[in-house]
Amino acid sequence: MTLGEQQRLFARLVGSLIMRIYDQGDECTLDWAYRPPEVAAYYASIGRGIRSSLHASHLAIDLNLFKVGIYQTDSEAHRPYGEWWEQQHPLCRWGGRFLGEGGKPKPDGNHYSMEFQGRK
């Protein structure tokens, strides 16, 4: 699959994810979708991301989740949507499963992406 084909598939799947959130009675707003490479590099330098961010390839989005109008800051609130997302395509990845240094959990529950060239 070319990068362009994967980007279009990702956009379609994100639309389905947003509809799923609303169908379940929750709401969301869009946070980071595209992240320029220089911004990705900056975030990596302060330990809040990676230099080769999939946001820079248009294959990741962060969604702000609201339950009964209350913004959810805990990754666990995203779990039902993250697990659903992972079922949509073999390349779909949910940030709630991210690991940091030494394999320790470092969840980023509002992050939804598609693996590309080994990047998650």
Which pLDDT tens digit goes with each residue over 23-61? 999 999 999 898 888 888 888 788 777 777 899 899 999
Residue identified by tokens 């390349």 is 91
Domains: count for the chain: 1
Q: Establish if 119 belongs to a structural domain.
A: no
Q: Establish if 120 belongs to a structural domain.
A: no
- What is the pTM for the complete model shown? 0.91
Q: Establish if 49 belongs to a structural domain.
A: yes
Domain that holds residue 26: 3-114
pLDDT digits (tens, 9 = 90+) for 77-110: 999 999 999 999 999 999 998 877 788 888 899 9
Task: State CA 32 to chain mean position distance.
Answer: 9
CATH number of the structural domain spanning residue 51 = 3.30.1380.10
Mean pLDDT of the chain: 92
